[in-house]
Structure 1
């Protein structure tokens, strides 16, 4: 679910940050560029882990800032297919469920990836697993354990922006609401 990824970039330090220690100024530039951004094939960038290499600063004519080539590691959220994750049910509708973890909420569980047999109650807006004569409700706000079945990246209209959608399944033993299964 979490990984460290090595990236290389050239960061600009603006003149108003020259009074800061060099790595504080570089960290500021890096966080502005990467934190809470999705990089296709990499994942959701959460923050700087450490610096691996920095080169000498250089200047561009007509630009008051300094530029530094850096190599660094970022902490990234990118679930792997087959991985089991516990999240929280955020929204339930006739096509499935939306689930979130504390910092990411674009997780979708399709109605075809629910426990069988499952029915949607339109009035209550809740999915119900019909298990051996019991109605087990999948309520909003409950913790849910799911298996990752797909991670998809989509580019938006902006050149540097992308979205990541995680698709999950609760079809299987031990999956579904955490409260359904004894420890």
Structure 2
């Protein structure tokens, strides 16, 4: 779920940070530039892990007194792999899109209807998807805990010159809950709790 990636970047340090030592100034700039941002085809940057190298600062003319530092560093990145099983919480249901799921720090997770346990149906009265199991309707209720498998990871890197009303998230996880052991965790733990 979390990986480290090596980044090499030239960072701009503004004069107001000159009073800090170079490592702290560079670290602050990395946090501002990368933390909680999506890097296309890489993932969601969480934090800096460590430095590989920090070059000497350079000042160039006509740069408002800023200095430039070339640095190599490792970032901790959230990028689940396809097939990984994750536990999250159902944040909503939609008759066309299926379930919206969040895992606390990341909310762009969707489980489409065709990847829910089958047979399933959308109940208009409760606004919830339901798994029909042996004549019982088991609801995918909000905000229940759900276990799902990562089906795909999509990065949206194109900029639409005519943007739609709703912007696409820069990274979307599509999950599946149509295998034994997946779905609401309460479905699979109740029988085990009774045996203990």
| Aligned residue number for residue 172 of structure 1 | 179
| Counterpart check, 1:134 vs 2:136 | yes
Counterpart in the other structure of 1:152: 154
- Kindly tell me the number of residue pairs found equivalent between the two proteins: 180
**2:83 paired with 1:82:** yes
Q: What is the rounded CA distance, in whole Å, between the counterparts of 1:166 and 1:51 in structure 2?
A: 29
Runs (4+) of structure 1 exceeding 4 A deviation are none
Contact kept, 8 Å, 1:151 with 1:167, in 2: the verdict is yes
Q: 1:37-116 counterparts in 2 under 5 A?
A: 37-63=37-63, 64-95=65-96, 96-116=98-118
Q: Distance in 2 between matches of 1:11 and 1:163?
A: 23
Structure 1: 5+ residue runs without aligned partners? none
Counterpart CA distance in 2 for 1:47 and 1:138 is: 33
* TM-score normalized by the length of structure 1: 0.95
Shift of 1:133: 2.5
**The structure with more strand, counted as a fraction of residues:** 1
Gaps spanning 5+ residues in structure 2: where? 161-168
SS in 1 for 2:26: helix
Shift of 1:22: 1.4
CA RMSD of aligned residues (A): 1.3
Residue 146 of structure 1 and its aligned partner are, at CA, apart by 0.3
**Residues 96-131 of structure 1 deviation map (CA, whole Å, 9 limit, x = unaligned):** 001011110000100000001111001211011111
Cα distance in 1 between the residues matched to 2:113 and 2:154: 18
